Copies of this chain bind each other. A is one copy, B any other.
Amino acid sequence: MKNPPALEQLIESLRCLPGVGPKSALRMAYYLLQRDRKGASGLAYALSNALETVGHCQLCNNFSEQPTCSTCASEKRDTSLLCVVEMPTDVMMLEQTQSYDGLYFVLMGRLSPLDGIGPKEINLDKLIKRAQTGAENKSVNEVILATNYTVEGEATAHYIMELLKARNIKVSRIARGLPMGGEIEYVDSGTLAQAIVERKRVN
């Protein structure tokens, strides 16, 4: 007694989703076929449709249905600033702060040699070209590195910094320190040490 081949194939295919192992895949397949066939057909369509229509913005490398995304195409942005982030969600977070009006470059990942993610996978060629030539003949004055303050994010920022420095492009890194509402008693010592090193004169 085995599952029908098409069901086995579905179980196998579901395993391409990150974080889905054999047991979850089995549960998902049974659930879809038994209780949510409409959802399953919607998912099949959404997958095909997204694969067909969603590509990358030629300037910022973010997901986009047009060759140039709406942020890069906007005339209200300061084209002299280029903020480098790891993921599209980071762009959304920065936009929510409403304190940055420059443009972005989305790496779509971070350097992670153990996972096989090197400079090519995070599109560094494209970033260098973008930083050197600018967009529509408007050159980039400063590249702001806004990768995460994790080990991998730091390594990525360092690597990019070296690349850009060799090409005489001004590079900065987002500040590190106590978070808003942070209490010295509860903050970790790494953050606190950095906050002291990067102290800012106030008078």
Task: Check B33 against A50 for contact (C-beta < 8 Å).
Answer: yes
A96 to chain B: closest residue by CB: B1
Question: How many residues on chain A are close to B (CB under 8 Å)?
Answer: 58
The secondary structure that dominates the A interface is helix
Q: A26 in the interface, Cβ–Cβ < 8 Å?
A: yes
In the assembled complex, which residues on chain B have CB atoms less than 8 Å from the CB atom of A87? 30
In the assembled complex, which residues on chain B have CB atoms less than 8 Å from the CB atom of A46? 6, 9-10, 12-14
Q: A198 in the interface, Cβ–Cβ < 8 Å?
A: no
CA distance A195 to B95 in the complex (A): 64
The 10 closest A-B pairs by CB, nearest first: A16-B39, A13-B46, A44-B47, A10-B50, A4-B65, A13-B43, A1-B95, A6-B53, A10-B46, A6-B50
Chain A residues within 8 Å of B, Cβ to Cβ: 1-7, 9-10, 12-14, 16-19, 24, 26-34, 36-37, 39-54, 63-65, 69-71, 87-89, 91-92, 95, 108-109
